Chain A
């Protein structure tokens, strides 16, 4: 009787151990299937404006392919070109088109997203169309009154974002409010008599309620409380940004210099897939 009990216990233990071992094996096989044997490291370096988006995409990618490590580094668009020249990164990230003199070191370029900034005015404002030069002059304080732009005789209330904001970076760069001195240091010439608001929502609220005010918000946040002006005659929308006719927009580009690894190819395919582009659409304008 006692012996029978002992055998039973040992049998049970053996069975349990086997089950655990088998389950363990099973798990291994499944995860190997998931990865398709893909592993390695993908390095992306370059524009700090693309960096947050690349990080989002990299996180989603690494969830899908746990054995691939995607490293995202900053440094600026120029650094993006340099790192593919020196082959220290798989992708260079740029937040501007590739320049003529850089074309030699770039083998492929993939536009992964577009970033657009809408210039908005108070709904009562009669000026509905501005040129890039006029916008630059408003923000550097050269034009101070709406009548110089064919509007009412009223002082322009300039609203801007805080220093370091990505939207401010894109806006000042494209409108050339941000220039470089002879040493290559960036100089932001936004007038100090500008109201600074810390978020897109606060800028919208300010422009919506303050007469004669002008501000800018990222295209995704545009709504009917404010009036978006046409820039160089083109109204801002996803379509005009994607086809390039709306000027205050910039492409986010991945460039490569040499043949890329399989992991890097799968990564860029992921970025351009529906799943990747839906991550882009959370904050920027998808290209597909």
Chain B
């Protein structure tokens, strides 16, 4: 019996080592391939350079960083309130047998391949922004024009893509709030809205926050869908209707035909993306510690 358990223990150990090792190997590989360009071109002129023109030997990725951040935060601004509201509705308001149908529909969103989202965006969302959204926007800013390939298009598609993550994790943590909390709140004379806003959401805070972090991770790393609908223009955006290029999109698009220096520069873009994701994760975890401490 004991030797049997030892074998199992070893197998589990190997699995744990494998996953850690692959992270390590990927990191080493990316840094090894990308560092030469960072060294030759200069880290600062690489990160803060405004021109990304690999054919001309210009590797400034600041417009790409702005593109990735604007699309990601746009997606969070649209996706998080929608996702949390959806989770509250499913747990607290809808009868559970009907909620099941809604829930599986939302979860089905996670199973759609991202390139399908991209083509949907290209064929439906981009023209819709140009024909329907632009006139409304022009009431406030008459000089605005857009082709539809924009931060807004990318943000809307990404918001839909992060919904399943945000909804299902938030929903689980809301459902895990002890029933006594609801009863106590209602017994104190609070109505349903007050109970949800002041008791349930604060109590489920840490779960909701982690759903946001996971959603952000998905949004920042998403490539195919965004590639097709943001226009891939490596220019600093001035409004949400401008086209942008993202870090991931640029890597995916240009890797196949790249010359050796260009390829190395794309790996350096990967390094920057890696660092941005790590920083955002650390920031989010700190926030979670501070805010979730009261629970």
Contact = CB atoms under 8 A, between A and B. Distances in A.
Interface of A: 155, 157, 162-166, 178, 185-188, 192-198, 202, 205-206, 209-211, 213
B149 interface: yes
Contacts of B122: 202, 205-206, 209
B259 A194 contact: no
Interface in B237-295: 243, 245, 252-254, 256-259, 262
Contacts of B172: none
B57 interface: yes
24 contacts: A157-B147, A164-B257, A178-B55, A188-B53, A192-B51, A192-B235, A193-B233, A193-B235, A195-B147, A195-B149, A195-B243, A196-B231, A196-B232, A196-B245, A198-B228, A198-B253, A206-B122, A206-B149, A209-B122, A209-B123, A209-B126, A210-B127, A210-B130, A210-B147
B56 interface: yes
A245 to B, nearest CB: 29
Nearest to B56: A187
A269 B57 CA distance: 40
Given A163-B53, A188-B56, A195 B232 contact: yes
Contact of B55 (A188, A206, A211): A188
Contact of B127 (A155, A197, A209): A209
B138 interface: no
A164 B258 contact: yes
B227 interface: yes
A99 to B, nearest CB: 23
Given A192-B234, A192-B235, A202 B228 contact: yes
Contacts of B234: 192, 196
B192 to A, nearest CB: 46
A162 B53 CA distance: 10
B221 interface: no
Contacts of A163: 53-55, 254, 262
Contacts of B253: 162, 196, 198
Contacts, number: 76
Contacts of A211: 130
What is the size category of the interface that chain B forms with chain A? 20 to 34
Contact of B147 (A162, A178, A188, A213): A213
B134 to A, nearest CB: 12
Contacts of B258: 164
Nearest to B252: A198
A213 B130 CA distance: 13
B145 to A, nearest CB: 7
Contacts of A187: 55-56
A209 B153 CA distance: 15
B123 A195 contact: no
Given A198-B227, A205-B122, A165 B257 contact: yes
A163 B261 CA distance: 13
B18 to A, nearest CB: 33
A206 B243 CA distance: 13
A186 B243 contact: no
B142 to A, nearest CB: 15
B19 to A, nearest CB: 31
B148 interface: yes
B232 A186 contact: no
A205 B257 contact: no
A2 B231 CA distance: 87
A195 B233 contact: yes
Closest CB pairs A-B (n = 7): A164-B257, A196-B232, A188-B55, A198-B253, A195-B231, A162-B253, A163-B54
B125 to A, nearest CB: 11
